[in-house]
Amino acid sequence: MKLSEILEEIAEKYPHGLSNASVIRKINLIQNELFRTVVDVPTTRIYNLTAGVFVYSLPFPFTSLKDVVVNGVELPYQDMKEEAVGGAFYYFIDNNGLGIYPTPKEDSVEGMALTFKKSATQLSELDLTVVPDLDADFHMILVYGTLAQIAENYADIAMVNNFTAKYNALVTEYKKVADPRPDYPVIEDKMGGFLL
């Protein structure tokens, strides 16, 4: 659904007097929460390494980082408050800097790959034709999550509970569909182990 259709669906299910900006802000909050806690879309960015430079800016929240590969070698995370374990590692500087050790001694084109969880694109009143990043089959999650917040604004507890139950059911269904594990049965090996 396009954003305009989501707004219409929300207004049809629970008429309210809130502005589009207020409703879109709530949709963004729901979407951000889903991408932080439920939706896991791995994305990779490739960077050039520069000799003598050990700090690189992150264009995404550091909490989204999943993996750092430098010149084909995966680097482990090192908390700077703890004693270094030795060898190559990465660490965070503030909330938007990534440090790598050892410092590169030479330039390396496309020498660093960062894998991170995708963040949701923020929606706005300026473009109501945009389609949210969430899988199109599950846009009703955004509708029911937003409806729960709107009903909460009006202290309509019965509708908050109703919309929250529908939201939770859809989130559970999304988790089942998005589970990357195969759904085939595990076959027992009669010799004492399990085979896949």
Average pLDDT of the residues of the chain: 89
159: left (phi over 0), alpha (psi -120 to 50) or beta: alpha
- Residue 181, pLDDT > 70, answer no
pLDDT for residue 1 is more than 80: yes
pTM of the model: 0.75
Using an 8 Å Cβ cutoff, are 26 and 149 in contact?
Answer: yes
Q: What residue type is 134 in one-letter code?
A: L
What value does the mean pLDDT take over residues 138-153? 97
- For residue 139, pLDDT beyond 90: yes
Rounded to 5 degrees, φ, ψ at 79 are -75, 125
Percent of the chain having pLDDT more than 70?
A: 88
Reported as a single tens digit per residue, the pLDDT across 123-133 is 999 999 999 99
Picking from 88, 43, 93, 96, the residue whose alpha carbon sits closest to that of residue 70 is: 88
Return the residue matching tokens 């594990």: 181
In this predicted structure, the answer to whether residue 194 has a pLDDT above a threshold of 60 is no
Interhelix angle for 3-13 vs 139-153, to 10°? 50
pLDDT at 196: 54
Write down the pLDDT at residue 9: 97
Are 153 and 146 a contacting pair, CB within 8 Å?
no
Confidence of residue 40 (pLDDT cuts 50, 70, 90): confident
